[in-house]
Structure 1
Amino acid sequence: MPESRAGSGEADTCPAVCGHTHLFPGARCRVQGLSDPRAFAADPWPVELDLRFSDGVVADARLRTGGSEGAVLVVPPYTTGAGTPIDARAWTIREFAGTGDEVELIIGRHASA
């Protein structure tokens, strides 16, 4: 469902396509289904994401904004398609880039959860 910036405070969930089986500094994810990608890239707001990794695994995540570390992507533990367990992590977002009707997130360093 598309994210609505205004509303009841309940976040909708958007798909985010990731190019790898896990996140790391420099990894990229393309957020889809935002109602206004250009506005989101310029001034991101909190959103729930379904991270869709390259091995077909989908993990729930939440983008937090407004904290001292800036935008942070919080990902609970999940298991890759090959069976590798990935611990819960929080990542800063180094950059938001509008690419047509998607917004690309470029992952930064680990953040506090």
Structure 2
Amino acid sequence: MPGPVPEPLPDPANDDPFPAECARTHLYAGARCLVRGLPDPAGFAAAPTAVGLALRFSDGVTTAAELLVSDRGDLALAVAAHTTAAGTPTAERLWGVRRTLPAEGGVELVIGRRQDQEPTGPRK
């Protein structure tokens, strides 16, 4: 049985969100997503700004997301609720972004810890 048909990525030239490709079916601390279509990837990696994204996971599912920048310059990735291709519902999430790196074809976001949950105890 063939897998899901991937949705077409948006066209950022028409004010659509920038396409961002994730290598896995979900996000986690340490995951990486490649943002494409930015007019100045090196400049963006050095000084990111808030942008809308169309986050596409490896299972072909695409969902809305937004890269947020705080007044202090901290980065976060807000990801809309969605359902994986396997049928698993995923609630809206807010992830920290550890860093932005220039990469061939765009800018790589390195995902940090979730920001929308209570700490579970002391870190070891």
TM-score scaled to structure 1, two decimals? 0.86
Gaps of 5+ in 1: 3-10
* Superposed structure 1 runs of 4+ greater than 6 Å apart: none
Deviations 1:26-54 (A, max 9, x none): 01100000000001100100000000100
Matched, 1:89 2:93: yes
1:45 maps to amino acid: T
Q: Which residue, 64, 76, 82 being the options, matches 1:78?
A: 82
Matched, 1:13 2:17: yes
Matches within 5 A, 1:39-78: 39-67=43-71, 70-78=74-82
Deviations 1:58-109 (A, max 9, x none): 0000111024581100011100000001111100101111013310001001
> Corresponding residue for 1:5?
none
**Bigger Rg over Cα:** 2
> Corresponding residue for 1:22?
26
Distance change >3 Å, CA 70–CA 83, structure 1 → 2: same
CA-based RMSD: 2.0
Identity %: 46
Gaps of 5+ in 2: 1-11, 118-124
Distance change >3 Å, CA 67–CA 21, structure 1 → 2: farther
On the 8 A contact 1:72/1:92 being kept in 2, the answer is: yes
Indicate the structure with greater strand content.
1
Q: Which residue, 94, 99, 103 being the options, matches 2:103?
A: 99
